[in-house]
Amino acid sequence: MAVSPARSVPRHVAIIMDGNNRWARKRLLPGVAGHKAGVDAVRAVIEVCAEEGVEVLTLFAFSSENWRRPEAEVGALMELFLSALRREVKRLRENGIKLCIVGDRSRFAPELRQAMLDAEAQTAEGRRLTLVVAANYGGQWDIAQAVKKLAGQVLEGQLTLDQITEPQVEAALSTASWPLPDLCIRTGGERRVSNFLLWQLAYAELYFSDLYWPDFKQEALREAFADFARRQRRFGKTSDQLAAES
């Protein structure tokens, strides 16, 4: 499994944006108000990541389990997603941000699927930062689709069972184009990864914030980066081995 070299700023940051509904309830507002407020936090973390030289920022926008939420909330989230794609694409393009969307798109409305394709096409030349949005995404789904892809190659005679290795599985994941996450942040006070990038987070540093997502802005992300810089990433080795290699 490929790992990123040690550096003070992560190459790839993954964020579970949690706490929107609780942020709204605390203010006696409907849940969708929290999601709308969370858009400002998205802009803030994109700004910091671009400034700090992060290569990839992956945001967990909508999980495959989120369809279980009340129908009205899901509908409002889909409308917000569609409007955000159309509204933000110009800002992303002007700032050199390339947008990529991962997940099973088959369940989204045709209008939203087209908006995803349009936004990706319009930002395809971005080189400053790659923004990956995980929508209708689940880590288990990602591994399952990778296994199906490899099984198809075996059936077609392109691959043998003995050739299926960890790198082969990793190359079949939806995130294969980017380095593995170095840092995974979850806001909202929960301490779990909730089916997000299950394979990819094997050696990521985990950082949990009690702030609700709409309150997680520039300063909060810089604090997370400072915490990351203080950690020793061993990838199975000992501290003495790392010291001898430095």
Token readout for 112 is 């939203």
Q: What is the pLDDT of residue 4?
A: 47
Q: What is the pLDDT of residue 3?
A: 47
Q: What is the pLDDT of residue 239?
A: 63
Calculate mean pLDDT across residues 72-89.
Answer: 93
DSSP state of 5: P
The whole-angstrom distance between residue 22's C-alpha and the CA centroid of its chain comes to: 21
Q: How far apart are CA 136 and CA 75, in angstroms?
A: 14
pLDDT band with cut points at 50, 70 and 90 for residue 237:
low
pLDDT band with cut points at 50, 70 and 90 for residue 183:
very high
Q: What is the pLDDT of residue 172?
A: 98
Interval 24-72: pLDDT, tens: 999 999 988 999 999 999 999 999 999 999 999 999 999 999 999 999 8
- At residue 2, does pLDDT exceed 70? no
Q: What is the pLDDT of residue 240?
A: 60
Q: How far apart are CA 222 and CA 225, in angstroms?
A: 5
pTM assigned to the model? 0.92
- Counting every residue written for the chain, the total comes to 246
83 phi/psi in degrees, rounded to 5: -65, -35
Please identify every residue annotated as catalytic: 18, 66
- At residue 6, does pLDDT exceed 60? no
246 belongs to a structural domain: no
- At residue 114, does pLDDT exceed 90? yes
Beta strands in 111-208 (DSSP E): 129-137, 183-186, 205-208
Q: What is the pLDDT of residue 8?
A: 85
Q: Is 96 left (phi over 0), alpha (psi -120 to 50) or beta?
A: left
106 belongs to a structural domain: yes
Interval 115-158: pLDDT, tens: 999 999 999 999 999 999 999 999 999 999 999 999 999 999 99
Token look-up 């914030």 returns: 209
151 belongs to a structural domain: no
Burial 18-48 (b: 16+ CB within 10 A, else e): bbbbbbbeeeeeebbbbbbbbeebbebbbeb
99 belongs to a structural domain: yes
Count the domains in the chain.
1
142 belongs to a structural domain: no
146 belongs to a structural domain: no
* Cβ atoms < 10 Å from Cβ of 66: 16
- At residue 238, does pLDDT exceed 80? no
214 belongs to a structural domain: yes
Higher-confidence position of 3 and 6: 6
CATH number at residue 35: 3.40.1180.10
Q: Across the strands, what pairs with 133?
A: 59, 101
> For residue 119, what is the enclosing H or E element?
helix 110-122
Domain interval for residue 35: 12-137+183-232
38, 213 in Cβ contact below 8 A? yes
Q: What is the pLDDT of residue 233?
A: 80
- At residue 207, does pLDDT exceed 60? yes
104 belongs to a structural domain: yes
